[in-house]
């Protein structure tokens, strides 16, 4: 089952009244099945959001202390799945009851991962956000390991050890690509490449975009899109963006980007038949694609000097709302690259979700911001200090519940 079909099934279950304890909300997406949500773009369905983040409008439900992690939580109709690294020797997943936060099961495996010095200050904790399709939970372990777990029991179904399978080095900052599930496949950026894995068995179907970078790994996660009638996996590796045929693994198009330190972190963002992206040290740009007789060509569109580092932008209409490397928020007109506005600085990183004309942003220093998606000026509607610990895990929302992964805990809130 694809994630999209599983979401449709979950909506049907909600319509039939099969809800845990009245926690789910009619008209809202009741799951957060993968990195950046149901559509993998940070969008949230449902009614307009409240204009306040203060109590009692945003009320705590529960908070559970956990070993550290940078992964965002995954939400099903009745469970919350959250990763952890314990005692620097084990990593794994804990399933929590969505209503109470009580543990349902825990699964873990051994690890001895130590990240390279460039990322040592951030710790060697598990980083990638898992994926869930109603049938399996797919978890990326730091040593280039993909593990499939039974979401009801935590039992391991299979594991794909890409380090052993392909004889490639362990990525210097770990396996940080969040799995992408589509049909009977799981797509991951692992073993210095893009790999399609059979989600039933864990066997490799194909391996594409193979690099010889001696363990640099990937800083990005794949995306799925249909561009000019061709479904494709969108990929950003160390120095380039590319589109790959999901069936054959053939490269449809590729464009090397001009980042002087070769660091593509953002997943390529499809927009009007082209790709919007940014390199972590150079510039932001839009790259139009054309398809003539099945042959794709990518060209340069507009570019500007903004640098979007680690925070994935959200696209609302024809505007991109981004958190920049310098900590400021910016709004960019995607039709021409014009900088509509730039805000004052806010932290080093943030994860963003959006609904209609509002954006909810969680910064790495524990601030929760409600921002009006206004292309004319920066409007901070409300803000609240939500955590005293680091909050690098991606913000998640399901129903009217917001889930915040602190470095050593996860907390659930009800927004009403």
Q: Domain ranges for the chain, please list them.
A: 3-415
Whole-model pTM?
Answer: 0.93
Strand partners, 156: 149
Q: Residue 118 above 90 pLDDT?
A: no
Q: Under a CB-based contact definition with an 8 Å cutoff, are residues 139 and 184 in contact?
A: no
CA 393 → CA 36, 49, 106, 142, 352, distances in Å? 11, 22, 19, 15, 11
Residue 63, both tokens: 């908070």
**Torsional class of 192: left (φ above 0), alpha (ψ -120 to 50), beta (otherwise):** left
Superfamily of domain 3-415: YVTN repeat-like/Quinoprotein amine dehydrogenase (2.130.10.10)
At 368, give phi and psi (nearest 5°): -105, 120
pLDDT at 216: 78
In whole angstroms, give the CA distance from residue 44 to residue 397: 7
In this structure, of 12-26, 27-41, 189-203, 284-298, the range with the lowest mean pLDDT score is 12-26
DSSP reduced 3-state for 165: helix
Q: pLDDT tens digits, residue range 346-399? A: 999 999 999 999 999 999 999 999 999 999 999 999 999 999 999 999 999 999
In whole angstroms, give the CA distance from residue 227 to residue 315: 17
Whether cis (ω within 30° of 0) applies to the bond prior to 56 is yes
Average pLDDT score, the chain = 91
Q: Which position has the token pair 């805990």?
A: 409
Q: pLDDT tens digits, residue range 287-332? A: 999 999 989 999 999 999 999 989 999 999 999 999 999 999 999 9
Q: pLDDT tens digits, residue range 69-107? A: 999 999 999 999 999 999 989 999 999 999 999 999 999
Long-range contacts of 165-169 (CB under 8 A, 24+ apart): 165/191, 165/204, 166/191, 166/193, 166/207, 168/144, 168/192, 168/215, 169/214, 169/215
Side-chain-side CA neighbours of residue 24 (13 Å): 23
User: Cβ-count burial of 56 within 10 angstroms (0-12 exposed, 13-18 middle, 19+ buried)?
Assistant: exposed
Q: Residue 5 above 60 pLDDT?
A: no
Q: Residue 9 above 80 pLDDT?
A: no
What are the DSSP calls for 215-235, one per residue? S---S---EEEEETTEEEEEE
Residue length of the chain:
416
pLDDT at 6: 54
Q: Residue 248 above 90 pLDDT?
A: yes
Q: Residue 175 above 60 pLDDT?
A: yes
List the strands of the sheet with 156-161, edge to edge: 131-132, 137-141, 145-149, 156-161
pLDDT at 255: 92
In whole angstroms, give the CA distance from residue 73 to residue 184: 23
pLDDT at 260: 54
């Amino acid at each position: 089952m694809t994630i999209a079909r599983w979401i449709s099934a979950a909506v049907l279950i909600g319509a039939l009244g099969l809800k845990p304890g009245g926690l789910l909300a009619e008209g809202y997406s009741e799951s957060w099945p993968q990195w950046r949500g149901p559509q993998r773009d940070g969008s949230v369905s449902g009614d307009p959001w409240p204009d306040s983040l203060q109590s009692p409008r945003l009320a705590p439900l529960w908070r559970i202390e956990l070993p550290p992690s940078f992964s965002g939580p995954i939400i099903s109709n009745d469970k919350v799945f959250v990763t952890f690294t314990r005692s620097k020797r084990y990593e794994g997943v804990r399933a929590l009851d969505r209503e109470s936060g009580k543990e349902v099961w825990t699964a873990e495996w051994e690890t001895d991962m130590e990240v390279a010095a460039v990322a040592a200050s951030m710790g060697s904790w598990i980083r990638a956000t898992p994926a869930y399709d109603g049938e399996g939970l797919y978890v990326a372990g730091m040593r280039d390991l993909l593990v499939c777990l039974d979401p009801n029991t935590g039992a391991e179904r299979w594991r794909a050890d890409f380090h052993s399978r392909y004889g490639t080095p362990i990525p210097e900052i770990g396996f940080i690509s969040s799995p992408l599930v589509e049909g009977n496949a799981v797509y991951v950026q692992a073993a210095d490449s893009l790999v399609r894995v059979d989600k039933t068995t864990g066997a490799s179907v194909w391996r594409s975009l193979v690099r010889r970078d001696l363990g640099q790994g990937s800083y990005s996660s794949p995306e799925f899109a249909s561009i000019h009638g061709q479904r494709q996996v969108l990929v950003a590796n160390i120095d380039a963006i590319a589109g790959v045929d999901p069936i054959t693994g053939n490269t449809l198009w590729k464009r090397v980007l001009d980042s002087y330190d070769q660091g593509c972190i953002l997943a390529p963002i499809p927009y009007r038949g082209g790709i919007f992206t940014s390199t972590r040290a150079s510039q932001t740009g839009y790259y139009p694609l054309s398809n003539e007789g099945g042959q794709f060509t990518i060209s340069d569109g507009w570019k500007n000097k903004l640098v979007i580092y680690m925070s994935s932008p959200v696209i609302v209409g024809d505007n991109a709302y981004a958190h920049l490397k310098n900590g400021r928020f910016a709004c960019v007109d995607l039709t021409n690259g014009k900088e509509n506005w730039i805000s004052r600085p806010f932290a080093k990183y943030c994860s963003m979700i959006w609904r209609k004309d509002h954006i909810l942003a969680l910064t790495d220093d524990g601030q929760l911001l409600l921002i009006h998606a206004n292309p004319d000026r920066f409007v901070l509607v409300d803000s609240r200090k939500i955590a005293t610990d680091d909050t690098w895990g991606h913000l998640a929302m399901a129903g009217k519940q917001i889930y915040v992964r602190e470095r050593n805990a996860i907390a659930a809130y009800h927004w009403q």
